[in-house]
Amino acid sequence: MRVARKQRRRLKRDHVVAFLMVLPSLIAIAVFVYGFIGYTAYVSMSNYTTARVDLSFAGLEHYITLLSQRRFQDNIRNLLVFTALFLSACLVFGLLLALLVDSRVKGESFFRSVYLFPMALSFIVTGVAWRWLFTPGDLEPTGLNLLFDQLGLKFLEGRWIADTTIWPNVEVSWLKTRLLVPLAIVPVVVAAVWQMSGFCMAMYLAALRGIPEELREAARVDGASEFQVFRYIVLPLLRPITLSAIIVLTHISLKTFDLVMTMTGGGPGNRTELPSLYMYELRFSQFNTAEAAAVATILLLVVSVLVVPYLRYNRRAQEVGE
């Protein structure tokens, strides 16, 4: 009786100690994540538009300015196009790589390592390499164009990161931006897919390895073709990992900054500029802190719409699992 009570008291004390041990991290996150986000949102509604600090209230003025501005509309268009292309290419390419690596080939680990190695690189390194590959050359071809030239594949040549075309260049009355795809963004997507598709492959590989062979075997015994096995057995079982991959890749895509900075700097003529770059320019070149904060807040809201439901879903799934 006595021992039990003593032990219980001890356990209670230990729980307090445990809480105290995470407290520094909790405070850090409370301040650096939530406090800072709150402050940014506050600044975005202030008159802090020059180097002089002015936190007087301006309401939603900067949001209205931004949303009705050609440049910011271009940013949003670029972001959506970039994300759509990047995400779909990564998923398809990642799944393809996973299926190839998973097809009982010799040297499996070699292929897997090669397909995954760009993940270990900085986006800046990737950007430097791909920028030179996608520099078309003014008088004489350079980079990929030169390679295509030498291989007799001239028809593949393009203007790449120097391309100012917007395809199909549709005007919409209530928008200032032109739709839809700025062609200069395609090379940036290629570089991003080069870097990230291995990650997607790794996720799919982990999932494929988790599918019991008996399941496939049973379907084969029932007379299913290899394609049917894939379509009706494997693919449905890959759905949860695809959801995770979509969330992770999309949030990375929405946050993209380094790669564009190095490959194009946002050019030509803002055709590859993303909100993350515009925010940087507003804050650190134009010293328009309030508008920069508004861009950042919009970007955060876009990411949150995606991530918050996922985190909640993930938590529920975990509670059910426990």
Partner 1 sequence: MAGASLSRPRLRLRLSRALLYAVMIALVAFFVLPVYLLVITSFKDFSEVSLNRMWDWPTQLSLESFNRAWNGGQGTTGMRSSFLNSVLMVIPATVISCLLGSLNGYVLSKWKFPGSETLFTLILFGMFIPYQSILVPLVQVLSALGLYGTLQGLALTHIVYGIPITTLIFRNYYASVPSELVEASQIDGAGFFRVYRHIILPLSAPGFVVAAIWQFTSIWNEFLFGLIITNEPRIRPVTVTLQNMSGSQFTQWNVQMAGALIVALPTLLVYIFLGRYFLRGLLAGSLKG
Footprint of partner 1 on residues 8-67 (CB under 8 A)?
Answer: 10-11, 13-15, 17-19, 21-22, 24-26, 28-29, 32-37, 39-40, 43
Report how far residue 77's alpha carbon sits from residue 89's, in angstroms, rounded to the nearest whole number.
18
Selection from 282, 254, 256 nearest residue 264 by Cα? 256
258 binds partner 1 (CB under 8 A): yes
Nearer to partner 1, 92 or 170 (CB): 92
Within 80-139, which residues bind partner 1 (CB under 8 A)? 97, 100, 103, 105, 111, 113-133, 137
Q: Name the residue with tokens 């196009």.
A: 81
Cα of 256 vs its chain's centroid, Å = 6
- Binding to partner 1 by residue 152, rule CB under 8 A? no
Nearer to partner 1, 237 or 300 (CB): 300
Which one of residues 167, 232, 284, 287 is an interface residue with partner 1 (CB under 8 A)? 284
17 burial type by CB count under 10 A (0-12 exposed, 13-18 middle, 19+ buried): exposed
Confirm or reject binding of residue 75 to partner 1 (CB under 8 A). Answer: no
Residue 160 interacting with partner 1 (CB under 8 A): no
* Site stretch for partner 1 (CB under 8 A), options 57-65, 152-160, 172-180, 313-321: 313-321
Closest distance to partner 1 from the beta carbon of 223 (Å): 17
Distances (CA, A) of 184 to 91, 136, 221, 241: 22, 11, 50, 31
CB of 191 to partner 1, least distance (A): 8
Distance of CA 89 to the CA centre of its chain: 12
Residue 152 backbone class (left: φ over 0; alpha: ψ -120 to 50; beta: rest): left
User: By CB under 8 A, is residue 162 in contact with partner 1?
Assistant: no
165, 265, 287, 309: residue in contact with partner 1 (rule CB under 8 A): 265
- Which residues 291-310 are close enough to bind partner 1 by CB under 8 A? 292-293, 295-297, 299-300, 303, 307-308
Determine the size of the site formed for partner 1 (CB under 8 A). 99
Q: Tell me how far apart the 2 most distant CA atoms of the chain are, in Å.
A: 91
* CA separation for the pair 291, 66 (Å, rounded): 8
Q: 68: helix, coil or strand?
A: coil
